[in-house]
Amino acid sequence: MDWIFFILGLMPYLLEMYFLRYALMYKKPEPKKLIDEPFVSIHVPIHKEPPDVVISTLESLKKQEYKNYEVLVLVNNTPENALRKPIKDYCEKEGRIFKYHYIETAGYKGGTLNKAMSLSHPKTEIIGVVDSDYRVCSDFIRKGVSYFNDEIAIVQFPQDYRDFPKTLFYKAMYLSYRYFFAVIMRMCHVLSAVAFMGTVGFIRKKSIKETGEWSEQIITEDSEMGLRMNLKGFKGVYVDESVGKGLMPFTWFSCRKQRFRWAYGNAQTLLKHFTALIFTKKLNFKQKVAFFIQNTVWHTPLIYSLIFTYAGGLLSFLGAGLLTGFLVSRLYSFMWIFRKIDGLTFSESVLALVFYFSLFFPMSYAPIRVLVPIDISFYRTPKSREREKALYIGEILLFFLTFAELLICIIEKRWIGVYVCLLSILLFLCFLWVYKQSKVSTLP
């Protein structure tokens, strides 16, 4: 009976491993030849960003090999005139395609995007969303539009990054980010389960209107909108080609906060749409599983496993199965699938995996935090070197609790509990290594 619970814990991750292999079947979709140019409205949300970074993004959007478009520059909830004025002056000077708007809105980023819908040109057919730090290539719009047809409502490109030091720390961070687009998004494309990722992507305006407004309560409004559109029967494509590059977090602590935001938002999305996702007839079984994998990629069962282990009995075996399945699944996806797709060396795969594991606390705490009905504040990933107090209270507290649980399990000879605690310590070792690397890596 004990091992049945262990197997129950393994099952979700064994299923995940089976589905992740679909990423290897990915074939880049074929673009169509543009006969005409549908009107495109590019939305650039900006919240307390450095003006020089934003203007660099706008410069890249000015140089598009496309005529029929506008750029809505959406400065929101930014009272500092020193941050607003240079951007406004740039838009007024350039004129033509740039439309500057200052917006005060409640809710998360979705509130700004909802305002932008009414500000878009009446002829708008397609909306593109670009983060304020992304420099896009000159054929960005032309490429995006070329993948639309009557069935496609979403065209998503991978997020990519620039201007980071070539140190082990930043290389590990870069590869960890790339994993999602190299593996998860390729799988989703093959299984017709492509959501929207919030930047360097395009979405049909009519489809948004039919689906409903962007969520102002869910912190990852982009992926939530993408899921709702799929639940409505709309389809998307993923084009694994870099068309723009932004800035990675400047510090590991910033990355940690960003990862918590993603994990929290995805947990919100699953909590809100769980019943609809299970019972919808618009999606087949493979699509449903793909969306669950996509929205749990930033989650780890560590805290659940430790709680189950402490509870003892059959729950200890369930916790052991969950943590074992998670670790095996990630080893398989990073060390085999990711490596095969992107042609990584063994050491590069290890780097990406260790960095991924180092963020275990926000990825295990976020799914629990979402059950508390109190909103969190939106965290803007800094686009410049800002001083932040790096407090790893959660990791430290969890380490002492794990160590205490390990001692209790040894004293009581609960070996399955010892096994879970020792597995947990592997994640703490990854945390310590990345923490050390973050201290020796400095930006110019």
Q: What is the pLDDT of residues 88-119, one digit of tens each?
A: 999 999 988 999 999 998 877 889 999 999 99
In this structure, what token pair is assigned to residue 34? 């543009």
Q: Give the pLDDT of residue 443.
A: 45
**Which residue pairs from 175-181 have beta carbons closer than 8 angstroms and sit at least 24 positions apart in sequence?**
175/344, 175/348, 175/351, 175/352, 175/355, 176/352, 176/355, 176/356, 177/248, 178/342, 178/352, 179/333, 179/334, 179/338, 179/352, 179/356, 180/297, 181/240
Q: Using the predicted structure, report yes or no on whether residue 48 has a pLDDT greater than 80.
A: yes
**Helix, strand, or coil (residue 226):** helix
Q: Are 327 and 423 in contact (CB under 8 A)?
A: yes
Mean pLDDT of 146-153: 94
Q: How far apart are CA 165 and CA 162, in angstroms?
A: 9
What are the two backbone dihedrals, phi and then psi, of residue 236, each rounded to the nearest 5 degrees? -135, 165
Q: Give the pLDDT of residue 391.
A: 80
Q: Where are the beta strands (DSSP E) in 244-363?
A: 244-245
Q: Using the predicted structure, report yes or no on whether residue 141 has a pLDDT greater than 80.
A: yes
Mean pLDDT of the chain: 93
Return the percentage of the chain with pLDDT > 90, whole number.
86
Q: Give the pLDDT of residue 444.
A: 42
* Amino acid at position 373, single letter: P
Mean pLDDT of 135-149: 97
Q: Give the pLDDT of residue 427.
A: 96
45 HSE (CA, 13 A, CB side): 24
Residues 309-342: b if buried by 16+ CB within 10 A, e if exposed = bbeeeebbbbbbbbbbbbbebbebbbbebbbebb
Residue in 160, 119, 108, 117 with CA at minimum distance from that of residue 137: 160
pTM: 0.94
Domain boundaries, the chain: 2-22+295-440, 36-249
Q: Give the pLDDT of residue 422.
A: 96
Q: Which residues, including other chains, have CB under 8 Å from residue 407's CB and lie 6 or more apart? A: none
Alpha helices, H only, 71-204: 81-94, 109-119, 140-145, 168-179, 185-190
Q: Give the pLDDT of residue 387.
A: 65
Q: Using the predicted structure, report yes or no on whether residue 209 has a pLDDT greater than 50.
A: yes
Give the sign of the dihedral formed by CA 163, CA 129, CA 371, CA 291: negative
Mean pLDDT of 218-222: 92
Write out pLDDT tens, residues 223-281. Answer: 999 999 999 999 999 999 999 999 999 899 999 999 999 999 999 999 999 999 999 99
Residue in 69, 124, 125 with CA at minimum distance from that of residue 97: 69
Write out pLDDT tens, residues 165-203. Answer: 889 999 999 999 999 999 999 999 999 999 999 899 999
Mean pLDDT of 128-150: 96
Q: Give the pLDDT of residue 108.
A: 77
Give the sign of the dihedral formed by CA 416, CA 421, CA 422, CA 426: positive
Q: How far apart are CA 356 and CA 161, in angstroms?
A: 17
Q: Which residue has the tokens 């870069």?
A: 174
**CATH number of the domain at 36-249, please?**
3.90.550.10
In this structure, what token pair is assigned to residue 13? 């991750």
Q: Are 420 and 406 in contact (CB under 8 A)?
A: no
Alpha helices, H only, 157-251: 168-179, 185-190, 205-211, 221-231
pLDDT category at 374 given cuts 50, 70, 90 is confident
pLDDT category at 385 given cuts 50, 70, 90 is low
Q: How far apart are CA 362 and CA 355, in angstroms?
A: 13
Q: Give the pLDDT of residue 379.
A: 59
Q: Using the predicted structure, report yes or no on whether residue 439 has a pLDDT greater than 90.
A: no
**Helix, strand, or coil (residue 385):** coil
What are the two backbone dihedrals, phi and then psi, of residue 216, each rounded to the nearest 5 degrees? -100, 0
Q: Using the predicted structure, report yes or no on whether residue 15 has a pLDDT greater than 60.
A: yes
Residue in 302, 280, 304, 303 with CA at minimum distance from that of residue 292: 280
Mean pLDDT of 23-33: 95
Q: Are 247 and 205 in contact (CB under 8 A)?
A: no
Q: How far apart are CA 136 and CA 242, in angstroms?
A: 9
pLDDT category at 5 given cuts 50, 70, 90 is very high
